[in-house]
Amino acid sequence: MIFLSFPILGVFYFGYPFWTIWLTAGFTLSYLTIIHSRVSSWTNLIWLYMLAYVFYMTIAVNGGMMWFFFYFTSPLAFKFKDNLVSFRMLSYVFTMLALIIFAIVYGVDITSQIMTVLVPVINLTMLFYWKKEAEKSEQERVLWEKNQQINLLSAENERNRIGRDLHDTLGHTFAMMTIKTELALRQLEKGDLTAVRKNLEELHATSRSSMQEVRDIVTDLTYRSLSEELTSLDELLTTAGIEVHLTNELEGKLLSPVVQSTLVMLVRELANNVIKHSQAGQVRLRLFEDQAITVVMEDDGIGFGELTGRELHSIRDRLGLLTGTVTVESRKNPTRVVLTIEGDKR
C-alpha cells in the first residue's frame, strides 16, 4: 500500500494534476474492495476502473505508473484464481498489450519503449509463478483433507473392530457368567453346595480369562511400526511352533501412516489365522512393492475348503479403507493368500 502514496506525492512535488488525487483515492478504495470483499456483480466494474486508472495515469501523467499493474497480480493468483480465458485475466492482459502498443507507436525514446515492454513481462512472469504456487498450495490442502478423511475412516473402522471384538468376547462371556450366577443361586437355595462350588470355580476361571482377553484387546490398540510388528509376529509364530521365512522388501520405503497402520493390522490378521486355523509347520511371508504394495502369505497347513468368496472377510473390511484386494491364489499345498494395496501409498 506504500506505493499508493507516490501519485499523491506527485500532485504536490512532481506536477501531477490536482484532480488525479481523486482518481488515486478511487483506485485505493477499489483495491481494498477487491482484496477484502466477496466477489459480486460490482467486482468486474471495479476491476475495469482500476485498469483504466493505471492505463490513463501511465499515458497521460507519468510512464512510471505502469508499475501499478503489480497490484493486479496478487488478486489474480490468490483471490480469484482465474484461468487464462477469464474476463479479469483477459482484460488485464489486453490492457497491458494496449499500453505496449501505445508506447511503441508514440514513445519518445527507446528506453521508455523497452521499459514499457519489460514491466509487463516481469509482471506476467510473477503472476504465473504465483499461480503455480497457489495451485500447489491448493493441491496440498486437498491432499491434507483427503488424508484427514482417511484417518477418520481408519479410526471409525478401528472403533468398529474394537466393538466387534468386545461383542464377540465379553458379550458372550458376561451372558454365560449371568447364567452361571443364576444357576448357582438356585443351587444355593437347594443346599447343593458342591454344585455351587463348581459353578463359582467356573465363574472364577471365566473372569480371569476375560481379563486376559481385555488385556489382549488393549495391547492390539498400541501402535507399532511395520518392522516392529513383523518382529513381534516372527516371535509369536516361532513360539507357536511354526517355522517362519520372512522377506520384507518394504524396509526403508516411505509409507504413509494410514498405509503402514493398515499393513500392520492386515499382517497381524493373517498371522492369527495361520496360528488358529492352519495347523501349519512352516510359513513364508513376503512384503514388496511393484505396481502396488503386495503381501504374500504362504503356509503348508490344511488350507481352505471350497472357496465361497466370503473367506477372510475381516481382511476385506480393513482393505476397504484403501484401494486394495485380497486373493486366495492357492487353497492348499501350499495355501497362498495375496494382498495388494494400490492408490495413494504415500
**pLDDT, tens digit, for every residue of 187-237?**
888 888 888 888 888 888 888 887 777 777 666 665 567 887 888 788 888
Residue 18 within a domain: yes
Residue 268 within a domain: yes
Please tell me the predicted confidence (pLDDT) of residue 48. Answer: 92
CB atoms within 10 A of CB 318: 23
Beta bridge partners of 296: 286, 338
Share of the chain above pLDDT 90, in %: 9
> Per residue in 80-128, pLDDT tens?
877 788 888 899 999 999 988 888 887 777 877 788 888 888 888 888 8
pLDDT exceeds cutoff 60 at 154: no
Residue 343 within a domain: yes
Stretch (H or E) spanning 278: none
Q: Which residues have C-beta within 8 Å of that of residue 21, sequence separation ≥ 6?
A: 7, 8, 11
Domain-terminating residue out of 106, 138, 157: 106
CA atoms within 13 A on the CB side of 253: 17
Residue 277 within a domain: yes
Domain-terminating residue out of 48, 81, 106: 106
Residue 12 within a domain: yes
Residue 232 within a domain: yes
Q: CA 199, CA 176: separation in Å to the nearest integer?
A: 11
Q: Which long-range contacts (CB under 8 A, 24 or more apart) does 79-87 make?
A: 79/34, 79/35, 80/39, 81/131, 81/134, 81/138, 87/44
Q: Are 275 and 237 in contact (CB under 8 A)?
A: yes
CA atoms within 13 A on the CB side of 219: 9
pLDDT exceeds cutoff 60 at 142: yes
Domain-terminating residue out of 106, 124, 155: 106
Of the candidates 73, 63, 135, 75, the one whose C-alpha atom is nearest the C-alpha of residue 106 is: 63
Q: Which residues have C-beta within 8 Å of that of residue 220, sequence separation ≥ 6?
A: 165, 268
Q: Domain range spanning residue 83?
A: 2-106
Q: Are 314 and 329 in contact (CB under 8 A)?
A: no
Residue 203 within a domain: no
Residue 135 within a domain: no
Q: Are 180 and 173 in contact (CB under 8 A)?
A: no
Please tell me the predicted confidence (pLDDT) of residue 146. Answer: 67
Q: Where on the phi/psi map is residue 57: left (φ > 0), alpha (ψ -120 to 50), or beta?
A: alpha
Please tell me the predicted confidence (pLDDT) of residue 345. Answer: 47
Cell of 16: 501531477
Number of domains in the chain: 2
Backbone dihedral angles phi then psi of residue 327, each to the nearest 5 degrees: -135, 135
Mean pLDDT of the chain: 81
Please tell me the predicted confidence (pLDDT) of residue 346. Answer: 47
pLDDT exceeds cutoff 60 at 344: no
Q: CA 314, CA 269: separation in Å to the nearest integer?
A: 8
Q: Are 200 and 184 in contact (CB under 8 A)?
A: yes
CATH of the domain at 334: 3.30.565.10
pLDDT exceeds cutoff 50 at 269: yes
Stretch (H or E) spanning 259: helix 257-273
- Averaged pLDDT for residues 299-316: 77
Q: What share of residues in the chain are helix, strand, coil (percent, to 5)? A: 70, 10, 20
Between CA 4 and CA 8, with CA 6 as vertex, the angle to 5 degrees is 85
- State in Å, rounded, how far the first CA of the chain is from the last one: 42
Cell of 298: 504362504
